[in-house]
């Protein structure tokens, strides 16, 4: 009789253990379902990351819908400075096709017109230009990238002249998905491109905030 009771007791204990394991199993399944749902929502709301590499760069940079890293801005600024600094008549069509997708609507026509005018002037005077980058500076306060280097001009019968030149850029992503009508109008070939929000060039060292403040203390005004 006692043996019978022991067997019944063992069966009850086994059944209770199975019930506990079943309960734990249901809890784990519920937890996994919740985690899966959270992960799915996170993936849906997470802003996509795209790797963009400029034509002249061997490095990668990262962007999301409305954010660009410092390295992204720097490598595109270096590529643009190299391109603008080496504008010659025979290269203008290639350069125009590359920068067209990057120009905002309000500066597109004026930039392209100035680019072609410079190239035509070089052609008429048989002048060739080249630009060699020496350094760059990224200024977080203004979001500007300053690309400094030596600008060389060569004309027939005249010794090559060297000038100090700096290019300033503010590079951003105003719209992750471009306006398809504008893409077609400009003949753009790139789906995702940065935008040149600001650009300037001059014969001087980089006019950073610190440099301009030092000049201001000396009473020097920069035009």
pLDDT tens digit string along 186-201? 554 444 568 898 999 9
State whether the Cα torsion 3-5-8-14 is positive or negative: negative
Domain region containing 6:
1-46
Residues 16 and 97 in one domain: no
Pull the structure tokens for residue 118.
């410079």
Residue 80: C-alpha distances to residues 28, 72, 95, 110, 176 (Å): 55, 12, 9, 17, 20
Give the residue-averaged pLDDT of 151-160.
Answer: 90
223 falls within a domain: no
222 falls within a domain: no
**Residue 87 contacts residue 115 (beta carbons within 8 Å):** yes
Output DSSP code: residue 134: E
Residues 71 and 178 in one domain: yes
Q: What is the pTM of this model?
A: 0.66
Residues 9 and 23 in one domain: yes
Residues 42 and 54 in one domain: no
pLDDT tens digit string along 76-129? 899 999 989 988 888 888 888 888 888 888 888 888 898 889 889 888 989 888
Q: Are strands 195-202 and 158-172 parallel, antiparallel or unpaired?
A: antiparallel
């Amino acid at each position: 009789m006692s043996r019978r009771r022991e067997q019944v007791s063992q069966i009850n204990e086994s059944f209770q253990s199975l019930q506990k394991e079943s309960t734990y199993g249901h809890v784990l399944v519920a937890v996994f379902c919740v985690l899966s749902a959270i992960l799915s929502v996170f993936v849906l709301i997470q802003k996509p990351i795209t790797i963009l590499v400029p034509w002249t760069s061997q490095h990668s940079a990262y962007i999301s819908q409305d954010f660009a890293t410092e390295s992204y801005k720097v490598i595109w600024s270096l590529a643009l400075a190299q391109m603008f600094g080496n504008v010659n008549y025979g290269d203008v069509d290639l350069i125009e096709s590359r920068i067209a997708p990057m120009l905002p609507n309000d500066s597109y026509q004026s930039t392209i017109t100035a680019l072609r005018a410079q190239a035509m002037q070089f052609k008429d005077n048989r002048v060739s230009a080249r630009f060699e980058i020496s350094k760059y500076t990224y200024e977080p306060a203004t979001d500007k990238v300053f690309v400094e280097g030596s600008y060389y001009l060569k004309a027939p019968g005249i010794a090559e002249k060297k000038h100090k030149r700096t290019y300033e850029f503010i590079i951003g992503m105003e719209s992750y998905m471009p306006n398809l009508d504008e893409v077609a109008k400009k003949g753009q070939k790139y789906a995702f491109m940065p935008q040149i929000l600001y650009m300037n060039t001059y014969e001087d060292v980089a006019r950073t905030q610190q440099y301009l403040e030092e000049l201001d203390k000396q009473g020097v005004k920069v035009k």
